[in-house]
Amino acid sequence: MYKMEINLSGQQRIFLFRGPGCRKAMFEWWRDHLQLAAAGEDIRSIRVWGTVGNKTDIVLEWPPVKSAGSGRARAQQRSRTGRRPGQ
């Protein structure tokens, strides 16, 4: 099963793909929406999650998220107590 979340003009839209051929259908939607974004449509982000068994991972994300690299971004998120937000 795949779940696609699209932010279109600030409005979240969620699509589920499941059953035989769901991966192929999801990739077709992915390509179609990237083409719309390239043509100037107000698509702010697209995320796709894939579920296998009890494990869910982000499979695709647009625009790509920049990696933290050296870990500096994670260190900057720590508060004065040395803990990250939410701990």
pLDDT one-digit tens code per residue, 62-71:
988 776 654 4
For residue 13, the cross-strand partners are: 6
Pairing of strands 2-8, 11-17: antiparallel
Q: How far apart are CA 46 and CA 5, in angstroms?
A: 6
Q: Which residue has the tokens 């900057």?
A: 76
The DSSP H or E segment spanning 61 is strand 55-62
Q: Where in the chain are the domains?
A: 2-62
- pLDDT the model gives residue 7: 93
pLDDT higher than 90, residue 86: no
Q: How far apart are CA 17 and CA 52, in angstroms?
A: 13
pLDDT higher than 50, residue 61: yes
